[in-house]
Amino acid sequence: MRKPIIAGNWKMHTTRAQARELAAAIVSGCVGLSDRDVLLAPPFTALSQVSREVSGSSIIVAGQNVCWQEQGAFTGEISPAMLFDCGATAVIIGHSERRQLFGEDDKLINRRIHGALAAGLLVVFCIGETLAHREAEKTLDILKSQLHWGLTDLVGDSLASVIIAYEPVWAIGTGKTASSGQAQEVHGFIRAEIGRMYKKEIAENLRILYGGSVKPDNIDDLMAQPDIDGALVGGAALDAESFNRIINFTQQI
C-alpha cells in the first residue's frame, strides 16, 4: 500500500528565523502521525535551520532544485552534496516555475533527475500542463511527453526513489483547483503510462501527488481518490495552521 505524503514548497519565502518558527509549528502538528510522510522544501538559505528544527521527527527536508554535477563552475546552482550537507535528503525537480519562468526544458530536467538519483536523493518530479494546453485538449499529450523525456534512461528500480507531482499550471497560485474527479483522471493516466513505460508493479508502487491551490477545504476530497497519494502544497504551506490541517487530512478507509 502506498504511503501518503504531504509536501510543502515554501518557494522564495521565509527568513531563517521565520523558517525555524514555521518548521517548529509543523513538527508539533505531526505528532503521532505514522501513516503518512511530510516533506518540507524551504529556500536554500534556511535548509540548515529547518533541518535542525525537525531533527528527531520523521519530516523529510528537501531542496527546491539541484545541479546534476557534484561541483564545478555552475554559478547559482547547488550540488547534491551541498543539499546533504544542509540536512536535505530530497529535492523538487521540474517545478512549473522552473519551466515557465527560468526556461528549464525536459532535457535539463532529466539531467537534474539523473544527478539527484545518482547522489541518493529522493526526487519529487513535477509535471503539468498550461491553461492553453488544457483548452486545446492536449493535457495527456503534454504529460506523456514530460514523463518520457524526464525519465529518459532511468531503469525501473530508480523509480523507487521518485515521486511524481502533477501540478496543472493553470491552478498554481490562482485559487483554481482541478476537481477531485479531474485530478483523479489525470493521476490514473500517469499511473497507467508509467505501467506502459516500465511495468505494472512499478506503477502501482509509485506515489503521485497533486499540486495546484491545495487547501484545507479540498484536501479530504482529493485524498479520497484512489490514485492521489498526497499533495504538493504552495501558499497554504506557509501557514502552520492551514498546513497542519492538510497534513492531518481525513484518511479514507
Decide if 167 is catalytic: yes
CA-to-CA distance for 29 and 40, rounded, in angstroms? Answer: 13
- Would you say how long the chain is, in residues? 253
Beta-strand ranges (E) seen in the chain are: 5-9, 37-41, 60-63, 90-93, 122-127, 162-166, 207-210, 230-233
Cα 88 off chain centre by: 14
What DSSP state is assigned to residue 160? G
Q: Identify the active-site residue in 53, 95, 129, 133.
A: 95
187 is catalytic: no
Give 131-154 as a 3 state SS string.
HHHHHCCCHHHHHHHHHHHHCCCC
By the 8 A CB rule, do 247 and 22 touch?
A: no
- Active-site hit among 97, 104, 167, 187: 167
Question: What are the cell numbers at 92?
Answer: 523538487
Residues taking part in catalysis: 95, 167
